Amino acid sequence: MHDEHKIKVFTCKASRDFAEKVATKLGLKLGASDVLTFSDGEFQPCYNESVRGATVFIIQSTYPPTDNLFELLLMIDAAKRASAHKVIAVMPYFGWARQDRKDKPRVSIGAKLVANMLEAAGCDRVMTCDLHADQIQGFFDFPVDHIYASAVFLPHLKAMNIENLAIAAPDMGGAKRANAYARYLQCPVIICHKSREKANVVGSITAIGEVEGKNVVIVDDMIDTAGTLAKAANVLKEMGAASVRACATHAVFSGPAYDRIAESALEEVIVSDTIPLSSDPEKDKKKITVLSMSDIFADIINKVYNYEEISSSFIN
């Protein structure tokens, strides 16, 4: 690595395990930082080492609570005020990404607001993985490195050597991703069509495509309450699927998600480590397999720091 601007990697609280894996892969130690918390809950991050003139990478997934996003914003602000040369937000999971448009009157566009806040804090670049909608990249007026988890998932699925494989999209919005997976794995596509009663509540699901006798893998960008996923898996099984698995980048797993997965027809749920699984020992995680994205992120961080092209690193 060149000496012009030294590289420093820091983390916020929510992504410490992930950041440690990235730093180890880069052959670096995580930078020293702390968070001072006041008795009313207000907090103030600070760097315990100089970042003057450094290219600073701050790793944090912005899943709820909102403190995770705000801690990242304060860390960016602190780095900028401490004369960092460049500040790059590494956001394995970009929260608020589902608010990417006005889909009904009088609602916020949260993803655009988050982009504005990152810019206002002094961010120079964002690295993220499997955005809920690709067009969110257009909300930023600086570079966005959009990493695809398919670079980890596809080789894993190929190595599993599943016979009579079919890739399924859990809804019409996931058809493009499912098609890309199916093209790489040279297998047919099944599209599930769902009607929503309201947010996080699925009405009915129907599947379009040949399901009978297939070993189906449902692919998605995130699993939140697992309502859609569990329902789709059960419908596919009822339609004669030999087995149903799922593959999703972001394990949000809120509310009854763990129970729904455990009780559903799903054999296995493959997720990445962009969001850590719950540490609650009561949660049933037997069906869940976690693949790490840390090597991919470390590789892209290294290439961005050294001004190397990164497009060859992506399987879209």
Q: Hey, which residues are catalytic here?
A: 194
d(CA 5, CA 265): 52
Contact between 244 and 236 (Cβ < 8 Å): yes
Which amino acid is present at 79? A
Torsion of CA 239, 213, 189, 250, to 10 degrees: 80
73-85 core/surface letters (b: 16 or more CB in 10 A; e: else): bbbbbbbbebebe
Which amino acid is present at 127? M
d(CA 194, CA 183): 23
Residue 54: which of 23, 33, 85 has the closest Cα?
Answer: 85
- 126: helix, coil or strand? strand
Question: Which residue intervals of 128-213 are DSSP H helices?
Answer: 150-160, 175-185
> Which residues make Cβ contacts (< 8 Å) with residue 171, sequence separation at least 6?
192, 193, 194, 228
Size of the chain, expressed as the number of residues it contains: 316
Torsion of CA 194, 62, 89, 41, to 10 degrees: 160
Question: Which residue intervals of 161-226 are DSSP H helices?
Answer: 175-185
Tokens encoding 59: 């790793």
Tokens encoding 176: 């493009």
Torsion of CA 230, 159, 162, 172, to 10 degrees: 40
Contact between 147 and 90 (Cβ < 8 Å): no
